[in-house]
Amino acid sequence: MAPISRAVVPLDVQVRPVRDEKLGFLASMSDTVLRAAGKGADFLWAIYAWAVFGIGVFTALLAALLLPGKERRRRWVSAAGRAILATAGIKAAIRGLEKIPASQCIVVANHASYLDGVILNAFLPPRFGFVIKGEMGRIPVVGFLLRRIGSEFVERFDVSGSVRDARRLLKVADAGESLAFFPEGTFLHKPGLDRFRAGAFAVAINSNLPVVPIVIFGSRNILPAKTLMPRHGHLRLEVLNPIEPTDPAFENSKDLAELARQRILGVLDEPDLLAETAI
């Protein structure tokens, strides 16, 4: 009987599956460690950012409490906002500030985060008062600070209150105050630009004031809705050309609101939520 021959498997072929398995395990472990380290770094930065924010708000609160004069208080609170962003390492690129008229006007901006108010307050001239949803005025400390810098609060769900608010805003505008609005009224977790409420545009028409659209980029990524964990990122503000009272859209607040909204949509890198609803 002929002897049975056995194939000799080279050593490297025998070792390769074991080696590949070890390499795969090490790669998997490396990815896991890197992800854990990244999450840990993100968490530490979020804690640091909140600490910076707390110190900044405390400083702004002292200024609002002790300094005389609304414009002086606004300057200090604005400086505190810029310091918060810079100390947290959040870079902000501003384009087109020179387009804001030196005279009285109305500013309208998209709304994506609680951070938006801090951003506009940090970079708009101190002559601007902010029109804010009424719920913010009922938050301890925050409501006091906002009142001390001349913010105006409006009710979103109380019809009679909304009428009173509209009259009050007209009086404020007639007194020469420039106002800044977030005409969406609130912000959503879902990216996109929602419907504009008419209030800001009614004030602009009745007071014959130009409307200046401003586009805010990046705030949703840093502090999105439904979370208290900020993420590191960068901001960009773009001031668009003013819509002058001579524009035909000033015939009614609905047309003016839609024109401002379309101007912002033309630059904003987010979808039109009204178009999605209509589908």
Task: Report yes or no on 26 lying in a domain.
Answer: no
Task: Report yes or no on 73 lying in a domain.
Answer: no
Q: How many domains does the chain have?
A: 1
The strand ranges marked E within the chain are 92-95, 106-109, 128-133, 152-154, 178-181, 211-217, 235-239
- For the record, the structure tokens of 205 come out as 């028409």
**Which candidate, 210, 215, 186, places its Cα nearest to that of 200?**
210
Task: Report yes or no on 78 lying in a domain.
Answer: no
* pLDDT at residue 40 tops 90: no
Paired residues of 217 in beta bridges: 236
**From CA 220, how far away is CA 231, in angstroms rounded?**
10
Task: Report yes or no on 251 lying in a domain.
Answer: yes
Task: Report yes or no on 158 lying in a domain.
Answer: yes
**Which candidate, 249, 153, 264, places its Cα nearest to that of 205?**
249
Task: Report yes or no on 52 lying in a domain.
Answer: no
Domain range for 190: 91-278
Least confident window among 133-137, 175-179, 263-267? 133-137
Rounded mean pLDDT, 185-189: 86
Task: Report yes or no on 241 lying in a domain.
Answer: yes
**From CA 101, how far away is CA 21, in angstroms rounded?**
67
Rounded mean pLDDT, 258-272: 95
* pLDDT given for residue 194 in this prediction: 94
Task: Report yes or no on 266 lying in a domain.
Answer: yes
**From CA 2, how far away is CA 249, in angstroms rounded?**
102
Percent with pLDDT over 90 in the chain: 61
Q: What is the pLDDT of residues 119-167, one digit of tens each?
A: 999 999 999 999 988 788 788 888 888 889 999 888 766 545 567 888 8
The CATH number assigned to the domain holding 244 equals 3.40.1130.10
